[in-house]
Each structure stands twice: as C-alpha cells, then as structure tokens.
Structure 1
Amino acid sequence: MEQLGIEGAWVDTPRVFADSRGSFHEWFKGAAFHGSTGQEFGLAQANCSRSARGTLRGIHYAEVPPGQAKYVTCVSGAVLDVVVDIRTGSPGFGTWEAVRLDDTTHRGLYLSEGLGHAFMALEDDSTVVYLCSQPYAPQREHGINPLDPALAIDWPDGLVPLLSEKDAAAPTLEEAGRLGLLPSFEACGAYRRGLVGSV
C-alpha cells in the first residue's frame, strides 16, 4: 500500500492474475493492511452503490468518535475517488487527493476516520463497493458540498455533476466549520491511538 499525501489515506494496487477465463485478485487482506498502515480495520458494514456516468456522491464523513473508516474499490466501470482532509488542526486541512478506481487496476483506497470521501462515476453503471469500520448512523453522518469553490476539486471536464438533493444542499467546508460540524485532527488521532492500544 502507498500512503497518500493526506495523513490517514492509502491506495493499494493489487496484483491481478489474468488468463483466458478472466482474472483473480485479493482486494483486501487484513494482515497486509495492518503491516502497511499499522492500523486495524474492524468490518462493521459493507456497502455497494451503482451510479450513472456523472453521478457525484459526497463529500461524506461521520463524527469522531467513532467516525467511519472506509476501504473502497470499484468492481465495474470507473470512478474518480476523492479524499478530503476536513480535520480542523490538520497540517493538510482543506486539501484533497484524487485516485482513479476502476475494474482494470482494481485499486483500493483506504480512508481513516475523520476524512471526507466523495467520488464521481466516469462510466455508466460504475459500481463501487466499500467496507466500513462502523455501521451507518444517520445522526452522526454529515456532508460538505463537493462543488465548494474554496476546495476547488478538479472534477473531470465534460461531465455534468448529478448530485442528490442532500449533497447539493450540503454546507461548504467553511460553513461546516462555523457550525462546529468538523472533526478535529487531535480527536481523530486520539481515537485511532485508542483503537491500536485496545488490540
């Protein structure tokens, strides 16, 4: 696994074994994950979403603690997957990184608790599956508008973003900060250290 520039985010490019019958790859291995990240990943929920070309989902995150870490891959089609550092007090606050996930490279993206997550479908019927460390809890879930001009995420040209009403009405990063909705870098680190200490 390769650590991204945003602390708490990694990308994994697996070895794919292909022949005339198709292909096989291991898209998540707990021991290898722990060896690369030093973190444990407790699976609480697995999600699957299918999206039309141009669909833009996110930026989503959960309150910390406990937050919701995610391990994301695209099993059909292609998406531009984006991780956003929304943790107040973080050296990288307000920065983002994009990774293409598709059914050719089979890369996976891991996001620690407290990071924002969004993706845009680059093809019709793009299917994303993701493992979550905590179950969905509506009262702890929040969003930031993925078209926030201050974030200036470089979404692909030529695609008209298709957003849910909820995502389109989400606050900007600055507004979410003023409302006290953002996780802190310190709280995220303390929670992560507590998890490691409890293993």
Structure 2
Amino acid sequence: MNLEPTKIPGCVVVRPERHADDRGHFARTWDGAVLAEAGLNGVVAQCSVSYNAAAGTLRGMHYQAAPYEEAKLVRCTRGALYDVCLDLRPGSPTFRQWHGETLTAENGVALYVPEGCAHGFLTLEDATEVFYMISAPYAPDAGRGVRWDDPAFGIEWPAEVRVIHPRDAGYPWV
C-alpha cells in the first residue's frame, strides 16, 4: 500500500498496490507497521460499517473530543462517496482547512483521518457502503460535530445534499 500525504498533517490517502492474475487481484489495505513508520496511529480498536441507501446522503462532520480522539481509515466497499477530513487542531498549520477524496469500490482508495480532525462524507451513488477502521472505542459522551456547510471551513461538496440526519444539520456554526 502507498501512503500519499495531503496538505493536512497526518491525513493520508492510502492507495492499495493491486497484484493481479487470472483470478482477479489482491491488495493490502492495512498495515499497522507501515502506518507507525509514517508517524500515524496503527492501532485498530474497532471496525464499523455504514450503509447509505440514497445518493446525496451526508454524514458528518464528526469527531471525538479529548481525551477520546480517534484516528480512522475510511474505505468505500460498495458504491462511491466524497470523503472529507477537516483539521480542527488549533495548533495545526492547516487549522480549519480540509481535504476531500473520492472513494469508490472500484478504486479501492482509503482516507486516513488523524486524531483531532473531523470526518464526513457525501454519497455519490445509491446503496453506498463505507467501512471504517477506528483507533479507539466509541465514547458517546465525547461525540462532537461541526456543520458540514459552515463558511468558516468552505468545504466544496461535489453534489447536492439530499439526506442528512437532524443532528448533523443542527451542529452549531463556528
């Protein structure tokens, strides 16, 4: 797997190296040692799946407050989505900046979202499924979020938001 840095420190695009033969292909999608070598958190405490029935479904922008921060590796296993990492670390040189990446079942690309960053995505196809590998157990009392459309961040979503949970739509402006 290849790690490609983004402008957000610690946020990397993970591109699998596919080894193909007449059966199809094989690719490594997680390697804790490779992540640790790159200074990233290689621990997996839990894995989760999100199924989204309709294109235009937005989930986010979510994060866990200190001391329960979590890193995530996000991969699309069916359909397509636009995945966003938003830097909310006050001391970061990219504070309030974001990186977006198109993840599809076909391209196999994943996005690593480091601790202290919010995460969200917009589905681009019906029946999109997302697989998460997460570095820390979910702590419900530490769950937080920011508005997906806050002009303070200027996230450029590639399609119209048609489905959003009231909680995500109701997060406060910065």
TM-score (norm 2): 0.91
2:113 aligned residue: 111
Count, aligned residues? 171
Is the contact made by 2:55 and 2:125 (CA closer than 8 Å) also made in structure 1? yes
For residues 9 and 67 of structure 2, the distance between their equivalents in structure 1, rounded to whole angstroms, comes to 18
1:143 aligned residue: 145
Deviations 1:100-121 (A, max 9, x none): 1111221111111110101000
Is the contact made by 1:64 and 1:113 (CA closer than 8 Å) also made in structure 2? no
1:7 aligns with 2:6: no
1:101 aligned residue: 103
TM-score (norm 1): 0.80
Is the contact made by 2:68 and 2:142 (CA closer than 8 Å) also made in structure 1? no
- Which protein is bigger by CA-based radius of gyration? 1
Structure 1, unmatched stretches of 5+, are 175-199
Q: Secondary structure at the match of 1:34?
A: helix
Greater strand fraction, Structure 1 or Structure 2: 2
Structure 2, unmatched stretches of 5+, are none
Q: CA RMSD in A?
A: 1.5
- Residues 89 and 34 of structure 1: CA distance in aligned 2, closer, same or farther (over 3 Å): closer
Following superposition, the deviation at residue 21 of structure 1 comes to: 4.0
- 1:44-55 equivalence runs, <5 A: 44-51=45-52, 52-55=54-57
Greater helix fraction, Structure 1 or Structure 2: 1
Q: Secondary structure at the match of 1:31?
A: helix
For residues 15 and 107 of structure 1, the distance between their equivalents in structure 2, rounded to whole angstroms, comes to 10
Q: Secondary structure at the match of 1:80?
A: strand
1:169 aligned residue: 170
For residues 62 and 161 of structure 2, the distance between their equivalents in structure 1, rounded to whole angstroms, comes to 20
Identical counterparts, % of pairs: 40
For residues 71 and 160 of structure 1, the distance between their equivalents in structure 2, rounded to whole angstroms, comes to 23
- Residues 132 and 138 of structure 1: CA distance in aligned 2, closer, same or farther (over 3 Å): same
1:193 aligned residue: none
1:89 aligned residue: 91
Deviations 1:54-91 (A, max 9, x none): 00000000012230111111111111000001112322
Following superposition, the deviation at residue 32 of structure 1 comes to: 2.0
Deviations 1:94-150 (A, max 9, x none): 111101111122111111111010100000111110111111111001011101122
